[in-house]
Each structure stands twice: as structure tokens, then as C-alpha cells.
Chain A
Amino acid sequence: MDKQMELLQGTLDMLILKAVSLGPLHGYGILLRIQQISKDRLEIQQGSLYPALYRLEHQGWIASEWGESENKRKAKYYRLTAAGKRRLQAEAERWNRMADVIAGILGTTPEEI
């Protein structure tokens, strides 16, 4: 557990969008997918996933429908909408720019000033 990082504020939405951009998933599946692609380095409070899902759906970036899970149970699947796709791109760009800026700042040496 102590190897895991806590999620930065506001990044969960982006991760969810990314996770469902790879194919429709149910809530638990999204959790697993994020853990899988982050190689278990991120800690996500399981319960906090759902308010985020509801919020994203309300905003129209993801859509949901009921389907059947691998073990033949009724589950709610989320998929990315066109608006969500644009949103994900925008978020990713913003994140990358931000990461660059911050990395630049942190990488600054006294000589460079």
C-alpha cells in the first residue's frame, strides 16, 4: 500500500475518461483498468469512483447502458461519448503542458536564473 500514490486533485475524471476510451467498462472494471495501466501505483478510494462517474455522465462525456458482465451478472457499462473524447484530448493536452511547466520549474538549477 505504501508504494501507492494518492491521486492528485481533479485527475480521477481524466483517468476514468482514459480508461473508458479503451472500450466500454463497468465501474469495477474501470477501477481494475486504472490500477492495471498504472501498474498499481495509484490508490483510488473505490467509493469515490461512483460520484465521479455520475458527474461525468451528467456532463455528457460518458454514457451508460446496462449489460451483462463476464460472470453473467447485470452491470452498468460506461463508454466514452464524442464530447468525452474531445474533453479527454483537451484534458490530456492541458495535463501535459502543466507537467512540462512544473517539471521545468522543478528542474531549474541556480545557474539558470
Chain B
Amino acid sequence: MRAWSSLRSWWREVVRRSRAESEMDTELRFHVDAYADDLVRSGVPREEALRRARIEFGGIEQTKEDCRETRGVNHLETLIQDIRHGSRMLGKNPGFTAIAVLTLALGIGANTAIFSLINTVLLRPLPYQNADQLVTVWGYNRTQGFTTDLVSPLDFADWRSQNHVFEGMAGSTDVTYTLTGAGEPALIIAYSFSSDYFNVLGVAPLLGRTFLPEEEQPGKSHVAVLSYSFWQNRFGRNPGIVGQSIMLDGAPYTVVGVMPAGFKYPPLTELWTPLTPIPQAANNRDYRYLRVMARLKQGVTLRQAQTEMNAIAARLALAYPETNKDENATNLISLREMISGDIRPALLVLFCAVSFVLLIACANVANLLLSRAAGRQKEVAVRAALGASRGRLVRQFLTESMVLGLIGGAFGVVLASLCTRVMVSMFPPTIFNLSIPHIEQLPIDGWVLGFAVGISLITGVVFGLVPALQAGVNTNDTLKEAGRGQAGSARGSRFRSALVVAELALSLTLLTAAGLTLRSFVYLLRGDLGFHPEHVLTMRVLPPSSKYKTGAQQIAFSNGALAQIQSIPGVKAAGTVTFLPLSGWYGERTVALESPAISQNQRPMALWSSVTPDYFRAMGIPLLKGRFFGEGDNQYAPGVAIISNSLARQIEPGAELLGKRINVDGVKGAVEIVGVVGDVHQLGITSEMTSEIYLPFGQIPAPIMCFAVRTAEDPDRVAKAAERAIWNVDKDQAVAYVMSMSQLASESLATQRVTMLMLGAFGAMALLMAAIGLYGVIANSVVRRTHEIGVRMSLGARPGDVLRLVLGQGLGLVMAGVAIGLGGTFVLMRFVASLLYGIRPTDPVTLAGAAAVLAGVALLASYVPARRAMRVDPMVALRYE
């Protein structure tokens, strides 16, 4: 609304001004005509009278200008005049305008796209009331190195009652349900929230209500609050849904509310149910499973809250040493940081890179303007001689370049909106816990538009300033010189060379950064995940515990499904695992030799999974020692386990562990190690956590079954058959995330892929622009030196000499650019280091490669004008004078 009213007042001003202008015209014409009439009356012939009237009146334009000055502030009119003039000049030279606009559109578009990403991930207000006060609170276990430990309900109760820094604290835990009775059975990602969770977040439901405190009691807890997208996709936004029942894990849950569209916490959550107490946790502080959200009191800083929470945790550690000795601290992380994942450093690097691109674009357009300014020197000189002040000329030139900047910016926004669509598609909605931000859309909102307009204007000033200042100097010399110096003065060309050197230097830095991230990405792609992801189909199945109450039922389900799947043609091996690698799902347990016994808190922590015998073959995980599980490893046989190589080293380096018995947290009695397998990067290739223990599904069944199916050909071809196989066993069973392991592997590198592709694109843009800039300078210099080249050739220089002369000039610029660029690159690459894997930021091969590519392209760019110089006809060149 404000924008509209200011637009209206601007328009009124424009109308007023233009009326004032025409009135001034009428008034002055009246004066001249009236005077002429009087002269005619005194006997002067009409034509002569008019002429004399005009002469005696004095300079009409000058008078008008003086009147405008006195009429009040004149800027707007001057601005409109300048814009009109500038647009006319741009229209007169469509080739120049097109190149400049394209260059600027690329630069501004890339900046806007990256800004929209930053805006969405880091800046845009979260859809919660005073979201800056929201923090997640985690346990901190220094001994084990857990920085974001879950919290036990007993600890949580003490935290809540003892702190003075939070307005409210609420707990939650993730749950999954199988939704039935609405089309195909579906796996639902849900969260159990304590009843005050929505209050802490400060979000009211769109329909109905959120949870009541009494709904945390068993028996009353079968209620659900739906997310907007779930409501929309499943129930077509039917407002009558509140009060109806939906079937979750075979039991009816009453829908009590629907949340507004913007509310989705945690990301991917489809519905919420009340958090109910777990009996095992009633007396055990070691039973840690809550995620805690808290709202800081007004005026309390994160640091103050951290100090107090640490004090509370330290007190609890003293009071309950057997469970809390190592949980003697906490870790507070703002909600914003939790949501943005680890893309922050990448975003900052991208933002720097993209501003380099814009700088190069500016330098290029400045160069274009300078070469054109040479042609416009006469226009400028004439205007100056007619009384335009230097400031007035500078202002006119700046206005012109800002018009150019804004046109470029407009195209840039269009480019950016295309670009954001591509970027959104690069952030997978299927993975969580791997610190990949969840980006569903990258809106071009008011902030992004404001940013685009802002940088367009700044860009206009930056690239326009030099030509504008140059326009103001030496007008007299220019007039005297009239007609000569068409290609610009030597001073101007030195400046243009400096600009090109800067462009080349910046390009080298960008190319190096692009090269490093590309090589790092290739390293990650080629990196050994510990299994062979090709030709593996995966799907995630979570049989509801309400239906599959006992381990035997779960085993029967798994066996039935695997038998069905194995009979599908093209399937080579199939198994299930509790936590599929790279899915972001994982579980941890402590592991230790039965003897010598070591205390609980010194035991190594390992990832665990319960697997069926063929899982290792299906995934291609190599057996190093011992054996895989067999069908015989069932509840009647002695307990066994397989450990990863890393875990073996951690338990006892160098020792023969086969046949040794170990204790696994949560497993009754010791189990025997029967095999050692290769390490698997369960949490992504960049994660170092590869200690893992596998337990046989036949002995330790689990309600989560991730199927891994090795196929002879394209795994997607058996996807439908595999899904049907599950439904053949249980037609109400949800099958989720049916996808190939390769796709999962690829998606797990989303952040790195985005960074690599973006930097690659920026590097290419920089290279192209620098090449165009260099071409411009060399071509210009060839034109300027045509006479000199003609003289040289008539004195006996051969085309080869001329070629060398011109190429030498280009080479000089390239060398200077590379030298400066190398220096800058060495300094700047330190900031890229955090994004790199398997390669040092000062990798000489990459640096040399980048320099070689730059030099090659640059020489090519100077070769084109050099060839033209070779073909200079001395006769024509000399006559050209």
C-alpha cells in the first residue's frame, strides 16, 4: 500500500512537472509573440519582427533552464530528461546495448539467484512468532563426543523446573505411522509433541485446536494434528476433517486440528500426535530420546541460557553419577541454525564467488562504455561548451549507466527465477539428518527484488563512474582534436587494460575455486562408500507395532517379503537392514568385549543395524574375515554379531576378534563375533563414523525394514514388482522411498553438487566475460594502431611480426592477470577449504590447470584481432590518415 501511494505521489509530481513545463512554454511564447506584435504595429515586417523579438528576448533555452532552477528542486526533471536521453542513446546502439544488458543480466541474475537461496535458508523469518528466541537444547557428552545428544524425560523435567532462562520448554520425538484406509497404505513421518510444543513455537492451528495436557495420558492420546500439505494432499482441504478419524497403525486417531501452510516443523513432518510417557523411561535417566525445543525469555541471550543450562547439567551429573557423569553439559543451537543445515559455509563461498562474477561483469561493461565514450567525446565536448557543467555531465552519464543496470537487472531477475527452479530441484526431499537443508521453494520475494534493484543501481554506478568521470575532462582538447582519436586516447586504453587484468585475475580465482570443488566432488563420487550402490533397489517398510506385536511376527513378515522379492526375475540378492546407509536414519549402541570388562562410559559407540543374511551380498559389502549370517542364526541359536573393520580396530587394535564374545547395549547376554566386514559410510561419504555392528534379524528383529535388492539390470525396472511383493504379504503395509541406491547416493551429495555446479557455472561465466573483455581491448588497440602497423609493414615487418606484436600485448595482460590472480587465489582458497574433500586448497595441479585454461582462452581471444592486424594493408592504413 505504501509503495502504491508513493508511486501515486511520484506520478502526480511527474504530471505537475510536465504541466509546469508546458505552461512555461506558453508564457514565454506569449511574451515573444506580444513583443513581435508591437514591433509589427510600429512598422517592422512580420518576419523581421519575430526575429528581433527572439534576439532581444535572449536565449530562450537558457531562460527556461534558469526558470526551472528557481522553480524549486529540479532533480526529478533532470533525472527524467537524463533517463530519456540515456534510453535514446542505448536505443541508437542496439549491439552495444544487447551485449551490455546480457552481461549485466548474467551477473545480476546469478547474484539474485544466490541471494534468494541465502534469503530462504538464512534470512527469511521463520514462520514462528519471534523465531529468534527459539533454540533447540541438546545434551553434550564430552567423553563420547556427542554434541547433540537426545534427552531423557527425567533430565528434561529437571531442566524445565530448574531453569530461569526459558519462557517455555517442550519435548518431542519422531515417530512413523502406517496410514491405511485412504488409498495405498502409506508411511507417515510424524512427530510426537508434548502438549505445550505448539505454544513454545507460538503457532496457532488453522482449524480446530492443538493438544490438551490430558491427551499426553495413554488412552486419551489417539488424537492427531495434521500438516497443511497432508490435509491438502489426502483430504482435499476438507474443512470437515476435524473430528473425523484416520487409521494410523491400524488404530483410529481423531483429527483435532490442522496447522497453517507455513508450519512444518520438523521438516517433512506430515502430522503430529501427543507425546506419551514411555514406561522404560520412568526411572531411567539413561533412556534418552527426547528432542527439546525452548523459547528464550525476553532479553536472555543464547550464551546466558547456555551457561545456566550447563550449570543445571553439571548439578545433575553430580547428583546422578551412574547415568549422568558424562552428560555434564548442554548444547544450545538456534532453530535457524538447525534448519539451515551445513550449507552455510557453502552459501558464503557462493556469495563471494557470485560477487566476483558481478565485478567482472561491471569491468566488462565499463570497458564497453569506455570504448564507446571515445566515440562520444565530441558529443560531450559540445555539450560542455554549450554550458553543461561537469557535475551535470557526470550525472547524465551515471543516469545512463543506471538505466542500463536496471534493464540488465530486470532480465537478471527473470534469469534468477529460472535458476531458482533448477536449484530447488537439486535439494532432495527424501533425505534427512544428513544436514541438507529442506528447500521446497525459493521465492523471489520483496527482499530478493529489493536486492536485485539495489545491486542493479550499485552496479550502474560502479561501471558507470569511470566513463562518467572521464567524460568530464579535457573537453577543449577533444574539440580541437575533433575527428581524430576515434579509438580512444592512450590514457583511456591503459585504464581499460588495467580493467582487463583485474577481470583475468578474478577469473583465475573463480576458475580455481570451481576446479577445486569439481575435483573434490569427483573424489566424493568416486569415493568408496563401502558398498556398491549400482543396481541396488531400496525401499523402506515399517510394519506397525500394533499389528506386528512380536519379533516372530516381524521375522515372518520379513521372510515372506524377501521370498517374494527373490522370486522376481532379475533379482540377484535381497536383504533387509534396520537403518539404510545414506538414508539419514541411524541408531547407536555401545559395544565392548565381555572380558576384560570396561565401564559403560568408556565403551566405544557403534552404529548398529539388524540385517537378514543376504543383506551384505545385496549391498556388495565385502567380507574380510569369518562368515556372513546364515538362516541358522535364529532365536534358537547362540547370539552372533558381525562388526565392521573400524569397530574391530576400536575394540582392540590388532587382536583376533573372531570367536570373541561382546556385550551390545540393549542385547541380552554376550554375542559372539562371527565375521568382520568392510566399513560402510552409513552417514554419508563425508562422515568419518564407520564403526558399525550388525546383528542377525533372526535374533534381534526390528520394526524398521529397509529392503536392499541387487538386480541384474536397471533397479527401477523391478520397483513395481518389489512393491507388489510386499503387498502380497500384507496389503495394508506402506512402502516408502522406493528408489535406487545410486539415486540415494547422488542425493546425499546435494549440497556439494549445488556448490560444485554453481561455482562451475560462475567460473565459466567469468572466463567468457574476461575473454570478451580482453578481445575488446586488443581489438580496440589494433584499430588504434592501424597507422603504426601500416608504417611497420611498409618498413618491412612481416605478418608474423605483426601477429607476434599483437599477441604479445595480449600475453602481457594475461601474465599480469595470472600473476595477480595467483596471489589472490592463494589467500582466498583458504575460505573454500571447508568445502573440500580429498584435495588441498592450494593444490598445484588445479591452480596450474586453471591458469592454463585462462591463458589458453585469453590467447584465443587476442588471436582474433591479431589476425585482423596481420591483414592490414599498409597503403590503406597510411591513406586512412
A residues with a Cβ closer than 8 A to B are 26-28, 31, 45-48, 50-51, 54-55, 58, 66, 69, 71, 73-76
Contact = CB atoms under 8 A, between A and B. Distances in A.
A55 B69 CA distance: 9
Interface in B309-341: none
Q: Which of A45, A46, A58 has most B Cβ within 10 Å? A: A46
A77 B37 CA distance: 19
Could you say which interface size class chain B belongs to?
Answer: 20 to 34
A58 B30 contact: no
19 contacts: A26-B27, A26-B31, A26-B34, A27-B27, A28-B30, A28-B31, A45-B58, A47-B62, A48-B63, A50-B63, A50-B67, A51-B63, A51-B66, A51-B67, A55-B70, A58-B70, A58-B72, A76-B23, A76-B26
A47 B27 contact: no
A46 B34 CA distance: 12
Interface string B14-47: 0000000001101110110111010000000000
Contacts of B66: 48, 50-51
A28 B70 contact: no
Nearest to A59: B70
Contacts of A76: 23, 26-27, 30
Contacts of A54: 67, 70-71
B552 interface: no
Contact of B56 (A46, A58, A66, A69): A46
A47 B30 contact: no
A54 B60 CA distance: 15
Contacts of B27: 26-27, 50, 75-76
A75 B23 CA distance: 10
Nearest to B72: A58
B57 interface: yes
B60 A47 contact: yes
B25 to A, nearest CB: 11
B22 to A, nearest CB: 12
A111 to B, nearest CB: 48
9 closest cross-chain pairs (CB), A and B: A47-B58, A51-B66, A47-B63, A55-B70, A28-B34, A54-B70, A46-B57, A28-B31, A54-B67
Nearest to A55: B70
Interface string B565-594: 000000000000000000000000000000
A44 B66 CA distance: 16
Contacts of B70: 51, 54-55, 58
Given A58-B70, A58-B72, A74 B60 contact: no
A28 B33 CA distance: 10
Nearest to A56: B70
Contact of A46 (B24, B35, B62): B35
Nearest to B26: A74
Contacts of B299: none
Interface on chain A toward B: helix, strand, loop, or mixed SS? helix
Contacts of B67: 50-51, 54
A74 B62 contact: no
Contacts of B56: 46
B796 interface: no
A65 to B, nearest CB: 11
A74 B57 CA distance: 19
A88 to B, nearest CB: 19
Q: Which of A28, A55, A66 has most B Cβ within 10 Å? A: A28
A47 B71 contact: no
B20 to A, nearest CB: 10
B28 A50 contact: yes
A71 B35 CA distance: 12
B240 interface: no
Q: Which of B33, B34, B63, B66 has most A Cβ within 10 Å? A: B34
B59 interface: yes
Interface in B776-790: none
B34 A51 contact: no
Contacts of A28: 30-31, 34-35
Contacts of A66: 23
Contacts of B69: 51
Nearest to A75: B30
Contacts of A47: 57-60, 62-63
Contacts of A55: 70
B606 to A, nearest CB: 85
B726 to A, nearest CB: 85
A71 B41 CA distance: 13
Contacts of A26: 27, 30-31, 34
Nearest to A51: B66
B31 A74 contact: no
Q: Which of B26, B60, B62, B70 has most A Cβ within 10 Å? A: B70
A102 B28 CA distance: 37
A66 B24 CA distance: 12
A90 B40 CA distance: 40
A55 B70 CA distance: 5
Interface string B60-99: 1011001101111000000000000000000000000000
B30 A69 contact: yes
B403 to A, nearest CB: 30
Given A51-B63, A74-B30, 18 more contacts: A26-B27, A26-B30, A27-B27, A28-B35, A46-B31, A46-B56, A48-B58, A48-B63, A50-B63, A50-B67, A51-B67, A58-B70, A71-B37, A73-B33, A73-B34, A75-B34, A76-B26, A76-B27
A7 B56 CA distance: 16
A54 B31 CA distance: 15
A77 B410 CA distance: 47
B78 to A, nearest CB: 17
A75 B31 CA distance: 9
Given A45-B58, A47-B58, A58 B28 contact: no
A69 B34 contact: yes
Contacts of B31: 26-28, 31, 46, 50
Contacts of A27: 27, 30-31
A31 B60 CA distance: 16
A26 to B, nearest CB: 7
Contacts of B58: 45-48
Contacts of B37: 71
Nearest to A74: B26
Contacts of B24: 50
Nearest to B68: A54
B243 to A, nearest CB: 71
Q: Which of A31, A47, A71 has most B Cβ within 10 Å? A: A47
Contacts of B60: 47
Contacts of A71: 34, 37
A41 to B, nearest CB: 17
